[in-house]
Structure 1
Amino acid sequence: MERQDVEQRAAALFRSGLNCAESVLAAVLAGRGLEVEGVTRLGTAFGAGAGRSKVELCGALSGGFIALGYLRGRRSGDERWDDVAALAAGVRRRFEAEHGCTACGSVLMALGPQENMDKCIQLSAETAGYFHEALDNPQALASAAAAPCGCSARQSTPAAPAGGPATTGGCGGD
């Protein structure tokens, strides 16, 4: 499938009643030739910013991340996950560069008023295209490598100090 086909699939799935996360998840998998029965169930709770909160990560991104995990994720804790983390980080950065942020509510505010979810449908289609493109050409995101977190060695990462800087992802104070 070409990127345009994946984007059209995501838009059609959203229009059929699926939410943003479900639509992107199913469209990205379809773009890889996979029609997995019931897979949309994995994305349901992520629609509209996790449980319709509109304050968490955009559901379209969440659906794409679930698809990346399905396609490139680990099968055991012994496997490395640097490649899939780099893909996810690269897509997240691209999304953020295009939309200014990754939090659902802030993205919705920037998109402006909608009619029949038209802007969310377009955003979901575009996001599915980002993931499809990243899977087709992971080298294009090579400079977007994710920082190691120490999870592989089960090392704990120190928590931010109380009153320390919060990470907002550049999302208008979210």
Structure 2
Amino acid sequence: MELEERIGKAVELFKSGFNCSQSVVVAFADMYGFTEEQALHMSASFGGGIGRMRMTCGAACGLFMLAGLEKCALEGKDRTSKAENYALVQRLAEEFKKRNGTLVCAELLGQKKPEISSIPEERTAQYYAKRPCPRMVETAARIWVEHLQGK
């Protein structure tokens, strides 16, 4: 699959009912040797701004998980690899903020006070009309594609 096609795949995954984080991670997971099921499991808890607590945007969390799949320390003492991962995450976060104004789910949703509930909303036309989430998924996937292309 071409990199650009993965952006559309991420959006389609979201529109099919997966959370924002799952949608971003699953679109790229095979590139790192993960199955779709494994990717769904490892990213499941990050939707809705981490467990629907409206903190860091789940699409951004998915982007950061991809950064860990690409760069991470495989030994506890490997400070260099940790630093490379943290630097990559910080660059990705800055780009996400530049394009969207914030990393905070509640702010992206326009909530003054986050409405925290463990119950996900039903995915209806009204749900998609009032939420920027498909655009956040698309943005996160696009940022990752640009990173992979070395832009």
TM-score (norm 2): 0.77
Report the Cα distance in structure 2 between the residues aligned to 1:91 and 1:73, rounded to whole angstroms: 15
Report the Cα distance in structure 2 between the residues aligned to 1:83 and 1:136, rounded to whole angstroms: 18
Question: Which has the larger helix fraction?
Answer: 2
- CA-to-aligned-CA distance 1:60-107 (integer Å, 9 cap, x gap): 011111121122222111222222222211110011111111100101
Q: How high is the sequence identity, in percent, across the aligned residues?
A: 26
**2:60 equivalent in structure 1:** 61
Alignment of 1:6-45 (within 5 A): 6-30=6-30, 32=31, 34-36=33-35, 37-45=37-45
Q: Tell whether 2:97 aligns with 1:117.
A: no
Q: CA deviation at 1:2?
A: 4.1
- CA-to-aligned-CA distance 1:118-144 (integer Å, 9 cap, x gap): 53112202211102221331xx5xxxx
Opposite residue 74 of structure 1, the aligned amino acid is A
Alignment of 1:1-174 (within 5 A): 1-30=1-30, 32=31, 34-36=33-35, 37-54=37-54, 56-79=55-78, 80=80, 81-109=82-110, 115-117=126-128, 119-137=132-150, 140=151
- CA-to-aligned-CA distance 1:33-69 (integer Å, 9 cap, x gap): 6452422111111101111011x10000111111211
Report the Cα distance in structure 1 between the residues aligned to 2:10 and 2:96, rounded to whole angstroms: 16
Report the Cα distance in structure 2 between the residues aligned to 1:89 and 1:14, rounded to whole angstroms: 25
Query: Judging changes above 3 Å, is the alpha-carbon distance between structure 1 residues 34 and 128 closer, same or farther for their aligned structure 2 residues?
Result: farther
Partners of 1:25 and 1:64 within 8 A in 2:
yes
Unmatched tracts of structure 2, length 5 or more: 112-124
Partners of 1:21 and 1:47 within 8 A in 2:
yes
Q: CA deviation at 1:4?
A: 2.5
Report the Cα distance in structure 2 between the residues aligned to 1:135 and 1:89, rounded to whole angstroms: 16
**1:156 equivalent in structure 2:** none
Opposite residue 128 of structure 2, the aligned amino acid is M
Query: Judging changes above 3 Å, is the alpha-carbon distance between structure 1 residues 3 and 115 closer, same or farther for their aligned structure 2 residues?
Result: farther
Partners of 1:3 and 1:132 within 8 A in 2:
yes
Structure index of larger Rg: 1
Q: Which ranges of 4 or more aligned residues in structure 1 deviate by more than 4 Å?
A: none
How much is the aligned-residue C-alpha RMSD, in angstroms?
A: 2.1
Report the Cα distance in structure 2 between the residues aligned to 1:11 and 1:45, rounded to whole angstroms: 18
